[in-house]
Amino acid sequence: MDSPVATNIPVVLITGFGPFRSILNNPSWQVAKALKNYREWNCPIHIILEEVDVTYDHVSTKVPEYWLKYNPTLVIHIGVAAGTAGIQIERCAFNDDYCHVDNNGTLPEDCRCVKTDAPEMLTTLLPIDIVCAKVERRTNLPVKVSVDAGRFLCEFIYYQSLFIDPKRTVFIHIPELDETFTIENLAETIQLIIYELLRCVDPLPCLNRDGNYLINTNVPKTTL
């Protein structure tokens, strides 16, 4: 992949979950794929997709690897919230009380996301209230802010990324698919959310040779 700093093209990492119990085709992954494979973008954006297993170990291992590998401008995690009546952008994630077993029948150690030296709660620093208001004016689907990500893999992965960089991380919950909430409609609305978020992200962090983040203040914010 060409360096996003050199090309000034934003890199957006989008994750969706794989099969979960009897759900073989997880809607979160279907929508994530639609964002790359079927949606047209009105400006250059490097979309990277990663399907995530519904297991704590996989998330704990892979999420930090994705950040180092892709050095993303923005990270969008997508999950399904059954019973909801719209798209929800999650405000925060908690570090503990993960007591629901994953696909492997396991729990994280001490039911925590990050074991030591981590705050109880982390919040995205992106202006999601403003983003929701702007996007709702441009779509027929409800888009709201939520403060309860569910204390399962959705919240677990969100905390992992917020712990790395809350200035460029968002989790989006989608409802179950139906005649209103189709893959196409959900992908179209999430695309609008991504456009708005890219206006707000800080200059892209650069990685030094040791794999540590350095903020490059000479790189301008993305203009869409």
Is residue 21 helix, strand or coil?
coil
Mean per-residue pLDDT, 188-213: 79
User: Which domains are assigned to the chain?
Assistant: 11-199 (3.40.630.20)
What pLDDT score does 204 carry? 65
CB 15 within 8 Å of CB 70 = no
Q: What is the pLDDT of residue 7?
A: 60
Closest by Cα among 134, 207, 205, 132 to 170: 132
pLDDT of residue 215: 41
What predicted TM-score, i.e. pTM, was given to this entire model? 0.89
Kindly indicate the confidence band of residue 214, based on its pLDDT and cuts at 50, 70 and 90: very low
- The whole-angstrom separation of Cα 72 and Cα 63 is 12
What's the CA gap between 51 and 14, in Å, rounded? 9
Pairing of β 169-174 and β 143-146? unpaired
Residue that is written with structure tokens 């709702």 in the block? 136
CB 74 within 8 A of CB 127: no
Give residue 71's pLDDT band: very low, low, confident or very high (50, 70, 90).
very high
What local confidence, expressed as pLDDT, does residue 1 receive? 43
Strands (E), the chain: 11-17, 46-52, 74-80, 87-90, 92-94, 121-123, 143-146, 169-174, 205-207, 213-215
pLDDT at 105 over 60: yes
At residue 8, the pLDDT reads: 82
Mean pLDDT of the chain: 90
Query: H or E segment at 7?
Result: helix 4-7
